[in-house]
Structure 1
Amino acid sequence: MIKTPLAAKMRPSHIDEIIGQEHLVGNGKIIRRMVEAGNIASMILFGPPGTGKTSMAFAIAKSLSLPVRKLNAVINKKKDMEIVVEEAKMTGSIVLILDEVHRLDKARQDFLLPHLEDNLITLIGCTTSNPYHSINPAIRSRCHLFELFPLTAEQIKDAIQKTLQDKEKGYGTKNIFITDEAINHFAYSTNGDLRAVLNGLELAVSSTPPDQEDVIHITLEIAEECMQKKSFTHDKDGDAHYDVLSAFQKSIRGSDVNASLHYLGRLIEAADLDSIGRRLIVIAYEDIGLANPQAGPRAVAAVEAAERLGFPEARIPLAVAVSELALSPKSNTAYKALDEALNDIRTRPTGDVPLHLKDAHYKGASKLGRGVNYKYPHNYEGNWIKQQYLPNEIKDKKYFKPNENSKFERALKTVYENIVNKSK
């Protein structure tokens, strides 16, 4: 006989029993309003693992006593969906909870669409992926999108207490003593993943024999053994990966060294050395740039050292590079100047290369006016001579705008101003 996991047993049967997600099910919030109005629409629930997507889907349907069926887009075929549709025709409508909804192929999407259109099927899709990245626009446009967030430690502690007290679905009939330290470990060790907490709690209870007074004692040591390792929500191919990389770069750009090191730590925990290396080199040139010109070569050297060392030692040069980049002055003037030049090239006529700058290394070039009247700067005092380099249409265009906060760029600005003054 297959035993139902504790996490499945403790699923809420009404939206009032949902833990967390107040922005959706709190008083006056959108999903509660739908339930109170007795009229729910198709929706996609998305968020990290263990945030209660499937549980919320069931709670919504049960709150309205609606017929509900659950399928998984990974394992259930079109034939399974056809059975649900036939049942819906018999009952008038049905709620279809579809886990891993982002894995729907085109054939199953095309089959579902008309039944969503006529409200025969109310779809509640559940996914850990960002629906804007992973779900077909035809399905997405027919569903409301609701994001679920990881539970707070306090919310997880509430869930643990409810589980320990629930006599029907939880451990209310057992005599369990759990220390505050153990509860704290469960609450803080999973990044808000309630399913992982309940799985750990179930393992702790089932693997701990009661004492002579029939009391099961759950200590910190037992909790640590049952959780094994801090749950880390980071899939290299998922949205969490790109969210952490984004936070990593933005923290360095914002000169917050503490946050920068924190997100570096997350990436190290995910053993994602390739992404760390690429992002550090980009940051060195994109965000620091001319404000600290040596940051680029040093970032490259740190990445090369980390790749040769491998983890765990790779963390050492990476920590040095991240700290330097976070605390370096910032400038994006160089690549912004180039972006402006590229925009001109792509969006407006910029004219031909001036004749005196054109290639003259072939016989007959001078007859075509190529290279004629070109002035070789090294033949003049200071290795500079006034002449036009930009095409006529944009001859007065200025792309480079030095950053006054950068010592190096202030020096470049002085050189630039001297050239401009000479050319007047």
Structure 2
Amino acid sequence: MKPLAYRLRPTEFNEVVGQDHLVGKNGILPKMLETGKYLSFILYGNPGTGKTTIATIFSEKSKLDTYFFNASTDNKAKLMDICDTTLYHDILLIIDEIHRMKSDVQDYLLPFIESGKVTIIGLTALNPYQNINPAIRSRCHLYQVRDLEDEDLKKVIERGKNELDIRFSISDEALDLIIRFSNHEVRSALNLLEATSLVLKDGDHLTPNIVRMVMGMPNLALDGGEDNFYELLSALQKSIRGSDVHAAIHYLGKLIVLGDLESIARRLMVIVYEDIGLANPNLAPKVFTACEVAKKVGIPEAKIPLANAVIEMALSPKSNTAYLAIDAAINDIQTIDTGVIPPHADNKAIRKNPAIYKYPHDDIGSINEQNYMPQKIKNKKYYNPKDESPYEKALKTRYLEIEKIKKLG
């Protein structure tokens, strides 16, 4: 029998979860299919988010003759054979790992894209703005395939549960555990669900300990019950944020017993920037080093560098000013018209008239009165410094000096 993940692979856009911005009713891809106007595009996002599935559905719905090309393993000769078919009709070319495309292959392909003979769908797990050659990137639309949320995975798991040969219930904690161990990848989540079903009978209840057993991990019964892993991570963060060093060490201990060093390290690196931030910026590289050491030495010794990091984080001064600043900026960008780059910060305008830009290093203190905010939000302030630590207090003093000069502009 085919694996559960294969059997549940979507064949329609409405079966794809978490990507409504691309494949929903008003998504760009259904609109292309409705109008019959096919644009070349690149789908980028983490593994397991649905890039290949979306490309395959688009291919089937487009009715175009479709070819697959792996930029990592296939050569120019294969591409030439594919492009030869355009003598008879236009084609769709799905290029996996497009960021690995060699320059000679790319140079051969570009004229076919320009003429519309070949429409491409590129697939990559890397940032296309940094890892795809500009010549290809400029001829394609870039669409992000977003990371799946817990609710998206829950829908898929429920669908998969109904596809299995037996009927069983599943606890919320077990569901969360499957999602965590799958790293939010649909295929991995369904594979784990199918594996757990092998040890169940009709009418059984799937618990976290059964999931751990299937994963080859020890059974755990913390506090006589089943702690939700994400709740433990949240409790660790709240304890560090609240400067409760004893609680922080307690929750770290629980998480270490559960053995997922990647999740612990990821959360600690978030905490050190979100909750400690500019109050103690030298702590961030120390936490990163402790996490890398922990992953290198593994359990049980990993507890030592992690404990060192958590104790210092809990006792450190705290500041969330950078976190609040970037959140506010992103919210404005997403909800209002923030305007355009002012001429004296725009290279195109400066090349035409260099005099409009005042080079700060030519001024006393390397500061001048020019402001670089778009005109529409010229008075917007995002960063509001605290003065609860020596470092950020010094930043605040510097900030106020700069603001006084900028007001002259």
TM-score normalised according to structure 1 size: 0.57
Confirm whether residue 203 of structure 1 aligns to residue 195 of structure 2.
Answer: yes
| Aligned residues with identical type, % of pairs | 27
Aligned to 1:58: 56
Change (3 A) 1:227 1:43: farther
| Distance in 1 of aligned mates of 2:123 and 2:55 | 8
Aligned to 2:182: 190
Partner residue of 1:269 out of 262, 265, 276: 262
Change (3 A) 1:397 1:183: closer
| Distance in 2 of aligned mates of 1:349 and 1:328 | 33
Give 5+ residue unaligned stretches, structure 2. Answer: 218-236, 323-357, 369-384, 398-409
Change (3 A) 1:120 1:228: farther
| Distance in 2 of aligned mates of 1:395 and 1:204 | 65
- Contact 1:42 / 1:123 at 8 angstroms: preserved in 2? yes
Q: Deviations over 1:129-187 (max 9, x none)?
A: 1111111111111111111122233322322333454xxxxx4xx63123212545334
| Distance in 2 of aligned mates of 1:256 and 1:139 | 49
Partner residue of 1:99 out of 88, 92, 96: 96
Q: Quick check: which has more Rg, 1 or 2? A: 1
Aligned to 2:27: 29
Instruction: Give the RMSD, CA atoms, in angstroms.
Output: 4.7
Partner AA of 2:193 in structure 1: L
| Distance in 2 of aligned mates of 1:127 and 1:46 | 5
Confirm whether residue 179 of structure 1 aligns to residue 169 of structure 2.
Answer: yes
Q: Secondary structure at the match of 1:313?
A: helix
Aligned to 1:238: none
Confirm whether residue 46 of structure 1 aligns to residue 44 of structure 2.
Answer: yes
| Distance in 2 of aligned mates of 1:184 and 1:138 | 43
Confirm whether residue 148 of structure 1 aligns to residue 145 of structure 2.
Answer: yes
Q: Deviations over 1:15-71 (max 9, x none)?
A: 232222111111222222222222221111111111100000001111222222222
- Contact 2:317 / 2:389 at 8 angstroms: preserved in 1? no
- Contact 2:113 / 2:120 at 8 angstroms: preserved in 1? yes
TM-score normalised according to structure 2 size: 0.59
Change (3 A) 1:179 1:67: same
| Distance in 1 of aligned mates of 2:135 and 2:170 | 49
Partner residue of 2:387 out of 388, 401, 405: 405
Aligned to 2:318: 327
- Contact 1:70 / 1:97 at 8 angstroms: preserved in 2? yes
Give 5+ residue unaligned stretches, structure 1. Answer: 166-170, 230-250, 290-294, 332-344, 351-393, 414-424
| Distance in 1 of aligned mates of 2:289 and 2:149 | 39
Aligned to 2:5: 7
Confirm whether residue 75 of structure 1 aligns to residue 66 of structure 2.
Answer: no
